Chains A and B, each alone.
Chain A
């Protein structure tokens, strides 16, 4: 049983999604089923994480084909932790969708596609085969296209065209990389690839292939010259979809970069310098972009890009401490960004739009909600003891150790510009006096909601704020997990041994 536990997060999501298809015209049933299913998924993901934590890396050879021939599912600590976070965010967003997603949209299969997307995410985290990773990426992007366009407003379609083009292009680049890699090594299993790559004498071709992968994943992650699809599309769908995208989608790209550049092509030389410079530019342009935007959702979209720079910066330093920082930052960022986009949805219901100059007076009108919303905003800046502060300790420490003044400046710049942006948002939304704006007749405002609708918007935010507080107060737990992940990533032998089941043979 326990060896099959690793595939359950994928299968459960598939079962929920297919079950939901049978209730196509019954939004209410779908809403209940989705929440129940997501809760089960959280339980299974925590069981998987517990097993991985206690017994080490879990491996399942699909179809019982031995390791390099079939597809392996590998659950190391990083994958298991990300699957757990994904399932938590999915549960929270499926509750949030209750109010945020109108029934007309649910009737176009919102919940089913939503669970297919979560299935794709879990699969991408758990797979140990590079071509299988491509397939999961395609599952993710096709679901995200549908979620992005559901409703079909003009701005959504426009955003989707941009999102579609660049993501298709990145998939093609990724597939090109796989083709070249297979031509050179004759293998697709990531563990076997990590053994073959060092023995290849033609270092030039290895370098080229690794750069092709960097471009492919760079588009997904939203790295510097390739991020323009992100702010063009993330503000167009309803807040529940934005929260899912903002929290999880770019992080899959970051996960793939971390996996590929620790296991298959360990970072060194030119690649390391390129990633470092890209991380710097990503932070710079993300930060400056967020500063000039006048719409709160777009500010948050640019902040995603800015903070991707943190994780890639940590990866590019390529020491154990830096990876610990990068992974911890990723855990923190998934939760905080999802919360921020959900808060953006609440803003929209309060003010009728999300333009900064139209908002204001939140602290007077809703003092308790303001306190709730302040926690994720301050956590993002990294005000101690909130969660953004702790990974920065590792990241700053690692840049000192590596004597990398450049990365240190980048990290300081990112923290500072985040502070300025959040201060601007705080001033405009919370502190400034409320502006009199004309009410839209069609829109149901927040104060017209009944208790059930209100709680469906606020409870999910409350749940994620609790997770943020857990990160903040029990930071040593997360640090412990991150340290183990950092250790596993730097010593990829463990991963290879687990996949080829070498430990048992030695006994």
Chain B
């Protein structure tokens, strides 16, 4: 399972970076979304995978014993997902506006801000 997740994370990172390097605005956003998912998987993976051991203290004892699933990475992922959701929706509105005012989705055509006149 770890190997599978690790490969998946790698694929998401590679795909994300490939899409960011393309010239189209839409692919830029797709790249960022892929990278965001890749990093969430990475947090999940780095937290350590434990199967079928919820972090709930049994009634008769006062602390957890043995291996148990770490709840912190899941809280982190939840936060990161919510944040990236907000940012991605902003990004989609932004590229729509950008397409309207610049009238192209070619990133190379967006060179007005770096002109030295």
Q: What is the size category of the interface that chain B forms with chain A?
A: 35 or more
Contact of B90 among A131, A142, A231, A235 (CB under 8 A): A142
CB pairs A–B below 8 angstroms (8 shown): A134-B80, A135-B83, A152-B101, A158-B101, A164-B94, A178-B43, A232-B114, A292-B116
Contact of A158 among B47, B110, B117 (CB under 8 A): B110
Bitwise, A44-85 to B at CB < 8 A (1) or not (0) is 000000000000000000000000000000000000000000
A161 and B95: CB pair below 8 A? Answer: yes
Known pairs A172-B36, A179-B39; A158 contacts B46 (CB<8 A): no
Q: Which residues does chain B contribute within 8 Å of A180, judged by CB atoms? A: 42, 46
B39 and A154: CB pair below 8 A? Answer: no
A165 and B20: CB pair below 8 A? Answer: yes
Most buried by B among A141, A169, A172, A179: A179
Q: Which residues does chain A contribute within 8 Å of B90, judged by CB atoms? A: 142, 145-146, 164
Q: Which residues does chain A contribute within 8 Å of B36, judged by CB atoms? A: 172
Bitwise, A163-187 to B at CB < 8 A (1) or not (0) is 0110011001001101110111010
Report if A162 contacts B (CB, 8 A). yes
Measured CB to CB, the closest approach of chain B to A202, in angstroms, equals: 14
Most buried by B among A146, A168, A232: A168
A161 and B98: CB pair below 8 A? Answer: yes
Complex-state Cα separation, A214 to B83, whole angstroms? 22
Q: Which residues does chain A contribute within 8 Å of B8, judged by CB atoms? A: none
Nearest 3 A-B pairs (CB), nearest first?
Answer: A183-B46, A179-B43, A154-B101
Q: Residues of A within 8 Å of B, CB-based: how many?
A: 43
Q: Which residue of A lies closest to B117 (CB)?
A: A294
Most buried by A among B39, B72, B73, B86: B39
Q: Which residue of A lies closest to B43 (CB)?
A: A179
Beyond contacts A157-B102, A179-B46: 16 other A-B pairs, Cβ-Cβ < 8 A, are: A131-B79, A141-B87, A142-B87, A145-B90, A145-B94, A157-B98, A158-B101, A158-B110, A161-B98, A164-B90, A164-B91, A172-B36, A178-B43, A178-B76, A183-B45, A294-B117
Contact of A233 among B20, B87, B113 (CB under 8 A): B113
Q: Which residue of B lies closest to A186 (CB)?
A: B70
Q: Which residues does chain B contribute within 8 Å of A232, judged by CB atoms? A: 113-114
Q: Which residues does chain A contribute within 8 Å of B46, judged by CB atoms? A: 179-180, 182-184
Q: Which residue of B lies closest to A162 (CB)?
A: B113
Seen from chain A, the residues whose Cβ lies within 8 Å of a Cβ on chain B are 131, 134-135, 138, 141-142, 145-146, 149, 152, 154-155, 157-162, 164-165, 168-169, 172, 175-176, 178-180, 182-184, 186, 188, 231-233, 235-236, 292-295, 355
Measured CB to CB, the closest approach of chain B to A165, in angstroms, equals: 6
Q: Which residues does chain A contribute within 8 Å of B32, judged by CB atoms? A: 165, 168-169, 172
Complex-state Cα separation, A505 to B6, whole angstroms? 44
Q: Which residue of A lies closest to B13 (CB)?
A: A176
B97 and A149: CB pair below 8 A? Answer: yes
Measured CB to CB, the closest approach of chain A to B80, in angstroms, equals: 6
